[in-house]
Amino acid sequence: EKVLERTIDETAMKAVEHCLKEWIETVWDRDEMQDPRCKWCSSGLSCSRCTMGPCRIIPERNRDRGVCGADADLIVARNLLDTLATGAASHSDHGREIVETLLLVGKGETNDYMITDRKKLFALAEEYNIPTNREAIEVAHDLALAYLEEFGTVKGEIELTRRAPTATHAIWEETGILPRSVDREIVEAMHRIQMGVGAHYGNILLHGLRTALADGWGGSMMATEVSDVLFGTPVPCESQINLAVVKEDMVNISLHGHNPMLSEMIVNAAEDEAMQKRARDAGAAGINLVGLCCTGNELLMRKGIPMAGNHFNQELVIATGALEAMVVDYQCIFPSLPRTASCFHTKIISTSPKAKIPGSYYMEFEPSTARETAEAIVRTAIDNFKLRDPEKVFIPGKPVAVQAGFSVEAITAALGGTLQPLVDAIAAGKIRGAVGIVGCNNPRIKHDYGHVTLSKELIKNDILCVETGCAAVASGKAGLLTPDAAFLAGDGLKSICKAVGIPPVLHMGSCVDCSRILVLLAALGNTLGVGIHQLPVAGAAPEWYSQKAVAIGSYFVASGVYTVLGPMPHISGSPAVVDLLTNGLEGIVKAKFAVEPDPVKAAELIIAHIEEKRKALGI
Ligand code: BF8
């Protein structure tokens, strides 16, 4: 019964049952142990920002203000801006590391990384008026410097925001939320939540939108673009997904986290014949790399590396008992993984000086010694194979087939070189609209149920879904990422999928690749000559948990995309904040949030919104 409450992922169900029997603690057990939740924290009404506190707002006891004098609206808004800035910082700091690697390439200081997509590099350089009639490495050098400047520029505007349709850009200018630079908006967010600075909830939240835009059209967008330059722009590829991608007769290494710099290098190291031989000498049939979370998405998109699962699969893959090593960098990694691994021979290998994990093996990764470290990691995993206890191996079920790799470039190519056929299909009503489904897993919602149910409802109603992060992985496990899934779509969408040979749900990458969705929206808006807010599109984060998802949802809304959240953010303690986000923003950025944990009802909200936008466009 517990198993059915926890997940709809069929291999995860078996693994959860196994964990319950074997007393292997998982996220769901810890979630139960945390109940009942503090109602003040849940509604955003507690503040522990300074040492005059901690404070709680308890209206029924006339405790209307914290010690500093902040009321409910201010406390809720400050907490939310803090959350959002954390998320924006996470994506953008990851982006910075990628751009710094491009600079190393540009300086000729690394042999481990190179320019893989020269065409894209040159196109990106042209956006910055960087001369391209010279060696790629010189162009890379200048582009890296121009991008690094976007983190702390004095130009007054992040250049990439110019990709947005004019009408959208004008809204940002008029409302004063055009982001100046990535670091600046994040630092200013932290300044504004210092006691005695921001005192107006609305003013604080508008800066949240600016910070979010700096992430979406800045830090995340640079992460995506430069990753494509270094590792290749994704093209459609076939692979497999779910816990059963772990192989009993192989050395299994899972790559978990977010930054492709490390995982790409491990892929290269593992392909080496000497490593393969070492694995065979250890008694294995070879080396099997599997992805988890967003670094898994990066590898699936570009290399077709099989995917073991999303956020809530991370402990379950250890519980297969067949994992020699789990290599992690940062973000979304449960700090308790070494505890989970202690039941098995699995080694958790942490690699980032920013994310040291007690109980893990630490093998510091840096771009200048990337290959060497990657080889050492793969060797460690191979040498661990002999310690595997065959009695503990439990690999549930069979993998599911997926198609991934839908970058904007790949979608455009699939449509014959322009987005016009998509625009035509939308105008003709064969496709009613498009929805970006993104984000995480959260014990508030049954694992994958939110993502899969929403995706199915939307495609049934002829709405194309484009997905990233753990949402895309959920759809993959449910079989929605194959052209065959078109039979679940309405007649219009089905006919387009069949004609073009694409799935009704397109995997567009990791969470920083939500910037691909922005680029797609911008291209659609520009093709039609309208602002993003006029398009028949929406966003959804049915199972979000992370601060990063708050940043994504906010840059969707700030870009003009109506966005429906599954779990309620911790804001219910301020009706004024709730009203601003779910209502008032419409008058400012022409889009707003909604919260609806039931994915069937969320689909109804989205369908109604899309039909309204179609009507306004006269289609
Ligand atoms: O950046 S969707 S659980 S893995 S935060 Fe994390 Fe959420 Fe997954 Fe990727 Ni995104």
SS3 readout for 193-246: CCCCCCCCHHHHHHHHHHHHHHHHHHHHHHHHHHHHHHHCCCCCEEEEECHHHC
Task: Classify residue 243: in a domain, yes or no.
Answer: yes
Residue 439 alpha carbon, nearest atom of ligand 1: 2
Q: Domain span at residue 543?
A: 403-617
* CA nearest ligand 1 atom 1, residue: 511
Q: Are 94 and 19 found together in one domain? A: no
Distances (CA, A) of 434 to 94, 170, 462, 548, 609: 28, 23, 9, 22, 11
Nearest CA to ligand 1 atom 10: 511
| Ligand 1 center–CA 309 separation, angstroms | 11
Based on the fold, state whether residues 443 and 387 are members of the same structural domain: no
In a domain, 458, yes or no: yes
* pLDDT, position 293: 98
Atom 3 in ligand 1: residue holding the nearest Cα: 440
- Which protein residue has the closest C-alpha to ligand 1 atom 6? 332
User: Same domain, yes or no, for 476 and 610?
Assistant: yes
Reference 3, options 29, 37, 40; nearest CA is 29
Encoding tokens for residue 581? 């986000």
Closest residue (by CA) to atom 4 of ligand 1? 293
**CA-to-CA distance for 31 and 188, rounded, in angstroms?**
34
Domain boundary (231, 252, 285) is at: 231
pLDDT at 474 over 80: yes
Quote the pLDDT of residue 613: 98
How many whole angstroms from 329 Cα to the centroid of ligand 1? 13
Position 341 pLDDT exceeds 80: yes
pLDDT in tens, 584-603: 999 999 999 999 999 999 99
Q: 471 alpha carbon to ligand 1 midpoint, in Å?
A: 9
pLDDT of residue 153: 77
Do 333 and 382 lie in one domain? The reply is yes
Q: Is the dihedral of CA 331, 333, 334, 335 positive or negative?
A: negative
Q: Which of 86, 91, 298, 331 is the best mutation target for the ligand 1 pocket, counting ligand atoms within 8 Å of the beta carbon and taking the most?
A: 331
Q: Evaluate if residue 559 carries a pLDDT over 90.
A: yes
Residue 547 CA, ligand 1 centroid: distance in Å: 10
Q: 66 lies in a domain?
A: no
Same domain, 450 and 348: no
d(CA 76, CA 83): 11
**186 and 51 within one domain:** no
Q: 603: burial class by Cβ within 10 Å (0-12, 13-18, 19+)?
A: buried
The alpha carbon of 260 and the centre of ligand 1 are apart by a number of angstroms equal to: 14
Q: From the CA of 293, give the closest atom in ligand 1.
A: 4
Mean pLDDT of 15-32: 97
**Separation of CA 62 and ligand 1 centre (Å):** 40
Residue 320 within a domain: yes
Of 357, 372, 392, the position where a domain reaches its end is 392
CA 295, CA 256: separation in Å to the nearest integer? Answer: 6
pLDDT of residue 350: 98
- For ligand 1, the distance from its centroid to the CA atom of residue 436, given in whole angstroms, is 15
Are both 196 and 282 inside the same structural domain?
no
Asked if 567 and 468 sit in the same domain, the reply is: yes
Distance, CA 559 to ligand 1 centroid (Å)? 21
Task: Please tell me whether residues 188 and 332 are part of one structural domain.
Answer: no
The CATH number covering residue 443 comes to 3.40.50.2030
Q: What is the pLDDT of residue 375?
A: 97
With 90 as the cut, is the pLDDT of residue 93 above it? yes
Pocket test for ligand 1, best of 91, 293, 475 (most atoms within 8 A of CB): 293
Task: For residue 397, tell me if it sits in a domain.
Answer: no
Kindly indicate the confidence band of residue 392, based on its pLDDT and cuts at 50, 70 and 90: very high
Answer whether residue 67 is part of any domain: no
- β partners of residue 435: 465, 538
pLDDT digits (tens, 9 = 90+) for 407-457: 999 999 999 999 999 999 999 999 999 999 999 999 999 999 999 999 999
- Output the pLDDT for position 70: 98
Whether 128 is in a domain gets the answer yes
Q: What is the pTM of this model?
A: 0.98
Ligand 1, pocket-test mutation among 470, 512, 514, 556, most atoms within 8 A of CB: 470
Tens digits of per-residue pLDDT, 213-222? 999 999 999 9
Percent of the chain with pLDDT over 70: 100
User: How many distinct structural domains can be found in the chain?
Assistant: 4
Residue 538 is predicted with a pLDDT of 98
Indicate the average pLDDT of the chain: 97
| Cα four-point dihedral sign 86, 531, 294, 19 | positive
Question: What pLDDT does residue 4 have?
Answer: 94
Please check whether residues 300 and 381 belong to one and the same domain: yes
Q: Tell whether 447 is covered by a domain.
A: yes
332 lies in the same domain as 373: yes
Cα 226 from Cα 99, distance rounded (Å): 6
* Interval 55-72: pLDDT, tens: 999 999 999 999 999 999
Q: Which atom of ligand 1 is nearest to the CA of 548?
A: 5
pLDDT at 358: 98
How far does the centroid of ligand 1 lie from the alpha carbon of residue 343, in Å? 26
List residues near ligand 1 (CB under 6 A).
258, 293-294, 310-311, 332, 439-440, 469-470, 510-511, 546, 548-549
Terminal-residue alpha carbon distance, the chain: 47
Atom of ligand 1 nearest to the CA of 468: 2
Residues 444 and 592 in one domain: yes
Which atom of ligand 1 sits closest to the CA of residue 552?
Answer: 10
Mean pLDDT along residues 537-541: 98
pLDDT band for position 552 (50/70/90)?
A: very high
| Ligand 1 atom nearest to 331, measured from its CA | 6
Question: What number does the ligand 1 atom closest to the CA of 471 have?
Answer: 2
Band of residue 467 on the pLDDT scale cut at 50, 70, 90? very high
Single residue among 392, 420, 451 that ends a domain in this structure: 392
pLDDT of the residue at 200: 98
User: What is the 312 CA–ligand 1 centroid distance (Å)?
Assistant: 10
**Rounded CA separation 436/458 (Å):** 11
- Cα angle: 298, vertex 518, 330; to 5 degrees: 35
Q: How far is the CA of 307 from the centre of ligand 1 (A)?
A: 14
Q: Closest ligand 1 atom, CA of 438?
A: 2
Task: Give the 3-state DSSP-derived string for 270-314, with helices as H, strands as E and coil as C.
Answer: HHCHHHHHHHHHCCCCCEEEEEEHHHHHHHHHHHCCCEEECHHHH
The pLDDT-based confidence of 381 (bands split at 50, 70, 90) is very high
Q: Give the nearest ligand 1 atom to 546 CA.
A: 5
pLDDT at 391: 97
Ligand 1, atom nearest to 297 Cα: 9
Residue range 234-268, pLDDT digits in tens: 999 999 999 999 999 999 999 999 999 999 999 99
Ligand 1 mean position, distance from CA 291 (Å): 13
ipTM, two decimals, is 0.97
Q: What is the pLDDT of residue 27?
A: 98
Give the number of the atom of ligand 1 that is nearest the alpha carbon of residue 545: 7
Read off the pLDDT of residues 128-163 as tens digits, 9 standing for 90 and up: 999 999 999 999 999 999 999 999 977 889 999 999
CA 58 to centroid of ligand 1, rounded, Å: 34
**Å from CA of 504 to ligand 1 middle:** 22
